[in-house]
Amino acid sequence: MLSPVKTAVLVSGGGTNLQALIDAAAAGTLKSARLSLVISDKESAFALERAKKAGISTEVVVKKGKTQERFEEEVGALLEKNGIELIVLAGFMCILSGAFTKKYENRIINVHPSLIPSFCGKGFYGLKVHEAALAYGVKVTGATVHFVNEIPDGGKIIMQKAVEIEEGDTPETLQRRVMEQAEWKILPASLEKVAAELLRSRE
Label the pairing between strands 5-11 and 33-40. Answer: parallel
* Minimum CB–partner distance for residue 124 and ligand GAR (Å): 6
Footprint on residues 120-139 left by ligand GAR (CB under 6 A):
125-126, 129
Catalytic status, residue 146: no
Q: How far apart, in whole angstroms, are the C-alpha atoms of residue 139 and residue 119?
A: 14
Q: Of 51 and 83, which has the nearer Cβ to ligand GAR? A: 51
Residue 144 found at the interface with ligand GAR (CB under 6 A): no
The piece of 14-22, 67-75, 164-172, 190-198 that touches ligand GAR (CB under 6 A) is 14-22
Q: Which residues pair with 59 in a beta bridge?
A: 39
- 8-state DSSP, 136: H
Positive or negative torsion for Cα 126, 127, 131, 133:
positive
Catalytic residue among 107, 112, 130, 177: 112
Beta-carbon count within 10 A of 16 CB: 18
Q: How far apart, in whole angstroms, are the C-alpha atoms of residue 30 and residue 8?
A: 14
Q: Which residue is nearest to ligand GAR (CB)?
A: 91
Enumerate binding residues for ligand GAR (CB under 6 A): 13-17, 47, 90-91, 111-113, 125-126, 129, 179, 183
